[in-house]
Amino acid sequence: MSSLVRFLFSLAAAIAAASLLAASLRRRTPPSRLAAHLVPAHMAAARNRSFVLWLHGLGDSGPANEPIRTFFSAPEFRLTKWAFPSAPNSPVSCNYGAVMPSWFDIHELPMSAGSPQDESGVLKAVENVHAMIDREVADGIHPENIFVCGFSQGGALTLASVLLYPKRLGGGAVFSGWVPFGSSVTERISPEARKTPILWSHGIADNVVLFEAGQAGPPFLQNAGFSCEFKAYPGLGHSISKEELYSLGSWIKNRLKASEEKEN
Active site residue 42: no
Say which of 238, 239, 241, 259 is annotated catalytic. 238
With 0-12 CB in 10 A as exposed, 13-18 as middle and 19+ as buried, what is 209?
A: buried
Query: Dihedral (C-alpha) 158, 203, 27, 11: value to the nearest 10 degrees?
Result: -100
Q: Rounded distance, CA 119 to CA 227, Å?
A: 23
- Nearest residue to 106 (alpha-carbon basis) of 204, 189, 180, 5: 180
Q: What homologous superfamily does CATH list for 52-263?
A: Alpha/Beta hydrolase fold, catalytic domain (3.40.50.1820)
pLDDT at 48: 76
Q: Rounded distance, CA 141 to CA 48, Å?
A: 7
Say which of 152, 161, 201, 239 is annotated catalytic. 152
Model confidence pLDDT, tens digit, residues 33-57: 444 555 454 434 346 799 999 999 9
Q: Which residue has the higher pLDDT, 22 or 113?
A: 113
Q: Rounded distance, CA 149 to CA 155, Å?
A: 7
Say which of 206, 239, 241, 259 is annotated catalytic. 206
Active site residue 142: no
The values of phi and psi at residue 44, to 5°, are -60, -25
Half-sphere exposure of 189 (CA within 13 A, CB side): 24
Active site residue 206: yes
Q: For the chain, what percent of residues have pLDDT higher than 90?
A: 78
This prediction has a pTM of 0.83
- Rounded mean pLDDT, 101-126: 98
Domain positions in the chain: 52-263
